Amino acid sequence: MSTEQHDPHMDELTRISWHQSDAVTARITVFEALAEAGVPAAQADQLVSQLEAGAVAGAHTWVSESSPPAGSEQAFEDGWFKGVRAVASYLLRIADTTAAQRGRAESNAQLLTHLRQPLPHVPQSEVSAPTPTLDVKEILAVTQRFTWALTDPGHFLVPETSQEILAVALSAVREDERADYVQRLTAFADRHRERLEEMLRAYGPGSTPAQHGRYALVGQPESLVLCERFETAPLLLDGVWDAELEDLLLDDLAFAWGAGHRR
C-alpha cells in the first residue's frame, strides 16, 4: 500500500497552472483574431488588459464580500476581516498592474510571424559561417547594471547556480537574435522598467510571498533574461527549461511577471 501523502496545496498549484496556461493560449487567439480584424496593437493591448483586470476585480469583489463562519468568536471575526482587507488590497494592486500592461499584442504578432515564416534558403557558401555565441558571464554583468535587479547581494544565488540558470535561459535565444542580444536586453529593461520594479516590490526579497520560500528568482539579475524570453520566446524557454531545471522556479517567476504560460 502506498504511503505517499496527498498534498492539497500542490493540487491547487497544478490547477492554477492549468488556468494560467489556458489563459495564455486564449490571449494569443484573441490577439490574433483582433489583428486579423484590423484592430491596432495598442487598442488590442488595452482591450485584453481591461478584460483581465476585470477578472481580477471580480475576485476582489468576491473576497471583499466574504464572511466568517456563523457563530465565530469576535477575535476570529476580527482576524477574518483583517485578512480579507489585506487580500482585497493586494488584488486591487494586481488589477491596476494588469490594466496597465502593454506590448503583449506586438510580442504576440512577432512570435506568430517568426513561427510562420518559411525556412530561409542558405547559400552553400554560408553554411560554414560561425553562429554568434553568448557569453554567460558577459550577459550576467550586463543584467547586474540594471538597478531594478540590484537587491541586497546577500539574497543572490550562489554564482554557480546563477550561471547555470542564465545558461539555460540563453539557450532559448535564437541564432538570429544573438548578434545584438545585449542591445535587445537593454531595450527590454528600459521599456519594462516600471513593470520590473513592481514585480520586485510585490514578490522580491523581503516581500510577503518571498517569506514563504517562493519566488526565489525575482530580483535575481538573471531573471531579466527570463522575463525577456517570456515575452519573446515563451515556448522555446519552456522546452529548454523543462529539460534542465526545476519547474517551480520558473513557474513562480512566470506568475510574478504575469506570463502565466507554464503548465
- pLDDT at residue 127, as a whole number: 45
Question: Is 200 in a helix, a strand, or coil?
Answer: helix
**CA angle 160–162–165, rounded 5-degree value:** 110
Query: What count of residues does the chain have?
Result: 263
Can you tell me the distance from the alpha carbon of 111 to that of 113, in angstroms, rounded to the nearest whole number? Answer: 5
Can you tell me the distance from the alpha carbon of 243 to that of 255, in angstroms, rounded to the nearest whole number? Answer: 20
- pLDDT at residue 43, as a whole number: 92
Looking at mean pLDDT, say which of 69-83, 117-131, 213-227, 233-247 comes out highest. Answer: 69-83
Q: What percent of the chain has pLDDT over 70?
A: 75
Q: Does residue 16 surpass a pLDDT of 80?
A: no
More confident site: 212 or 178: 178
- pLDDT at residue 31, as a whole number: 86
Residue holding cell 466568517?
A: 68
More confident site: 259 or 133: 133
* 202-210 average pLDDT score: 83
* Residue 233 buriedness (CB in 10 A; 0-12 / 13-18 / 19+): buried
Long-range contacts of 52-56 (CB under 8 A, 24+ apart): 52/23, 52/98, 52/99, 52/101, 53/95, 53/96, 53/98, 53/99, 54/95, 56/91, 56/94, 56/95, 56/98
- pLDDT at residue 75, as a whole number: 92
Range of weakest confidence among 22-36, 97-111, 227-241: 97-111
Report CA-CA distances (Å) from 57 to 53, 102, 138, 142: 6, 19, 42, 38
